[in-house]
């Protein structure tokens, strides 16, 4: 099991004055995610972990995505989503990372 992301000061439940670090965690430590981000969409496909989108105080919203290969402990860029989005519904199925809904600015 992988835990991807974290929370930064944008989130209303983040402790006041505390900045939490975005990371990827599993039973054994792995390479840090390339962006300090939260609310991204992630799913496992063909032995790799794919993540896309998200938001943070430093980067704002993003459409960027990355794939993690646990064999070589490395993140590689993937094609960006067509729009910036975060806090979406997501799953991995039929060889695809499926992302639906979420928050996009403005509105």
Domains in the chain: boundaries: 3-100
Written as tens digits, the pLDDT of the chain (107 aa) is 666 766 655 555 555 555 555 667 665 656 888 988 889 999 999 999 999 999 988 878 899 999 999 899 899 999 999 999 989 999 999 988 999 988 887 65
In sequence order, which ranges of the chain are alpha helices (DSSP H)?
none
Please give the Cα distance from 80 to 43 (Å, whole number): 15
Six-digit token string for 41: 């969409």
Residue 4 has what pLDDT? 73
pTM, rounded to two decimals: 0.71
Query: Residue 48's beta-bridge partner residues?
Result: 45
Please give the Cα distance from 94 to 107 (Å, whole number): 31
Q: Write phi, then psi, for 99 (nearest 5 degrees).
A: -125, 130
Six-digit token string for 76: 């590689």
């Amino acid at each position: 099991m992988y835990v991807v992301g974290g929370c930064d000061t944008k989130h209303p439940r983040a402790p006041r004055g505390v900045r939490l670090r975005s990371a990827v965690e599993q039973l054994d430590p792995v390479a840090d995610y390339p962006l300090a981000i939260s609310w991204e969409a992630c799913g496992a496909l063909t032995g790799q972990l794919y993540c896309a989108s998200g938001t943070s105080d430093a980067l704002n919203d993003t459409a960027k995505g990355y794939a993690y290969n646990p064999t070589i402990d490395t993140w590689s860029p993937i094609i960006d989503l067509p729009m910036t989005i975060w806090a979406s519904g997501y799953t991995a199925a039929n060889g695809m990372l499926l992302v639906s809904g979420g928050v996009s600015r403005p509105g």
